[in-house]
Structure 1
Amino acid sequence: MQGNAIAQFLPLVLIFAIMYFLLIRPQQKKLKDHKKMVEGVRRGDQVITQGGIIGKVSKVREDGEIEVEIAENVKVRVLKSTLANVISKTEPAAAESK
């Protein structure tokens, strides 16, 4: 009787394990990488927003926003969380002074 109950729940446990390793874990890694990318954005980086706008970061604000220059003298405020990718990173200020 006990062996029968374990045999019934084994497929459910296996399905959950497969779902965890194929769906949940990669999604958590992707979110962690995105958060790290967003926190590392600084002035001079070239970025792509989720809306497809490509521009250069002109100012990083403390309230979760950045100012992106999309054309000469055209700046927009964008939430950091809506960044899709950082195309090119600038060198840290400490590296420039060496």
Structure 2
Amino acid sequence: MFALIMQSATPVGAGGLAMQIMPFLLIGLIFYFLIIRPQNQRVKAHRQLLSEIMRGDTVVTNGGLIGKVKKVADEELTVTFGDTDIKVVRTMIADVRNRSVAANDASTKKK
């Protein structure tokens, strides 16, 4: 009986090792295209959104507070929430609503 089992087993050779590694490579490729790449694109878009914040934009913080940007510094924003001005770290902005148009925008000039 043992001899019958040993005869039906295929020896592991160079092709067998490649076939054992192939599922792991395939899973890694699927993870890259379904999880890692889209997350990197979202992070890149959020960084661009944060770099384009200007005075007059309505922003939403990670805590859910909605306010209007009063002053823009390098890493800090002064945001007006109701009647109070609060300094907020730029990275704590989750979204920008109602983007304001720059005052010196070329498309708003009269012809």
DSSP-derived class of the 2:87 partner:
strand
Gaps of 5+ in 2: 1-12
Task: Provide the alpha-carbon RMSD of the alignment.
Answer: 1.2
Q: Give how far 1:95 is off.
A: 2.3
Residue 43 of structure 1, aligned match among 52, 55, 67:
55
Structure 1 residue ranges, 4+ long, deviating more than 6 angstroms after superposition: none
Write 1 or 2 for the structure with the bigger share of strand: 1
TM-score by length of 2: 0.83
- The higher-RCO structure (CA 8 Å, 6+ apart) is 1
Q: Give how far 1:92 is off.
A: 1.2
DSSP-derived class of the 1:34 partner:
helix
Residue 97 of structure 2, aligned match among 82, 87, 92:
87
TM-score by length of 1: 0.94
Identity percentage over the alignment?
A: 36
TM alignment of 1:1-98, pairs within 5 A:
1-62=13-74, 64-72=75-83, 74-95=84-105, 98=109
DSSP-derived class of the 1:58 partner:
strand
Q: Give the structure with higher Rg (CA).
A: 2
CA distance in 1, matches of 2:62, 2:26: 36
DSSP-derived class of the 2:55 partner:
coil
- 1:61-93, Cα deviation, whole Å (9 max, x unpaired): 12x010000012x01111111110001111012
DSSP-derived class of the 1:14 partner:
helix
